[in-house]
Amino acid sequence: MKKIITIVLIVAIISVVCAGVLCGCQPNDENTVKLIEVTHSVFYAPLYVALDGGYFEEEGLKIELTNGGGADKCMTSVISGQSDIGLMGPEAAIYIYNEGRTDYPKIFAQLTKKDGSFLMARTADDNFSWSSIAGKEVIGGRKGGVPAMALEYGIKKAGLVIGETYTMNYDVQYDLIGAAFESGTGDFCTMFEPAASNMQKAGMGYIVASVGEQAGNMPFTAFMATQSYMNENPEKMEKFTRAIIKAMDYVNTHTAKEIAEILAPSFVGTDLETLTTSIQSYKDIDAYCSTPLMEKADFELLQDVIIDSGVMTKRADFDKLFDPTIAKAMLEK
């Protein structure tokens, strides 16, 4: 009996191993792109328009979208080959490049050009000034994260000094900021849409300013892939970029309500009115890119923000980190 059980177990193990080997040997579906996003937000409206509006489908692409829950996890997924393309902040690529990795991820298309967070106060204030933060506590998110660094940079432009004229709270996790603020922590906090509008609708906080407007134009989120993947999959890269360009054009030429109606399937549970308000908030601050081409001056401002915060001292080479070849070719067509 023991021999029979042993044989059965051996056969089962061999079957599983063989199945895994065979699966691993199968070529990657030429029409499938494994895309990982840093988080799920209306801030990335053009992406969801490309998905729900059928632009990827028009190009013959099937997108397998996963949520990374952070730039570090997204980058790990991309460089390990678990994901083909990553949507995240360019700083993730900058850090990898500065480490000296040979097959470092290259940015091939920018999606947003400003910080997408909004400053929330405990009371509505139509006459808000950034100097109002003096003597107050702000929940800023993870120390070293670009949202926190952009916020620091924006407040610094108002002449305030962190730790001297105001306090920055880095102890609250990103996904718990809203709950912490509502429970009484801090005088101000930052929220992305649609969380900001939902908080305001509930009367728990009020949008008083845009961090993106205050900090200035910088490449906040972009698509990137390893050089090897880009070299091995030129047609996929072209099709993907072309779909994104079409979606960008739609977002920049249609109303917030029209955009909300298109991407609603990607935000089940969020009503159309909130989606519309959120998208309009981003259109009002000109957060969405009209072209996937990245501006060097904006890239350098992002590096200024990171260096100013003390996270890094070495600059990355813009021309080596951003590859405009595919975007330019698709725009010309």
Q: Which tens digit of pLDDT belongs to each residue from 254-297?
A: 999 999 999 999 999 889 999 999 999 999 999 999 999 999 99
92 and 71 Cβ atoms separated by less than 8 Å = yes
Angle among Cα 171, 175, 176 to the nearest 5 degrees reads: 55
Residue pointed to by tokens 């840093």:
38
Q: Shortest CA distance to 147 belongs to which of 38, 281, 236, 255?
A: 38
What secondary structure letter does DSSP report for 296?
H
pLDDT at 71: 87
Torsion angle in degrees (nearest 10) through CA of 85, 91, 95, 97 = 60
pLDDT for residue 15: 37
Per-residue confidence (pLDDT) for residue 158, from 0 to 100: 95
Q: Do 189 and 177 meet the contact criterion of CB atoms below 8 Å apart?
A: yes
Burial class (CB in 10 A: 0-12, 13-18, 19+), 3: exposed
End-to-end alpha carbon distance in the chain: 70
197 and 118 in contact (C-beta within 8 Å)?
A: no
Averages of pLDDT over runs of 10 residues in the chain (333 residues) are 35 37 48 94 96 97 93 93 96 93 94 97 96 96 88 96 95 90 97 92 96 96 97 96 98 98 94 94 96 97 94 94 96 89
DSSP 324: -
Give SS3 for 44.
helix
**Within a 10 A sphere around the Cβ of 296, how many other Cβ atoms?**
10
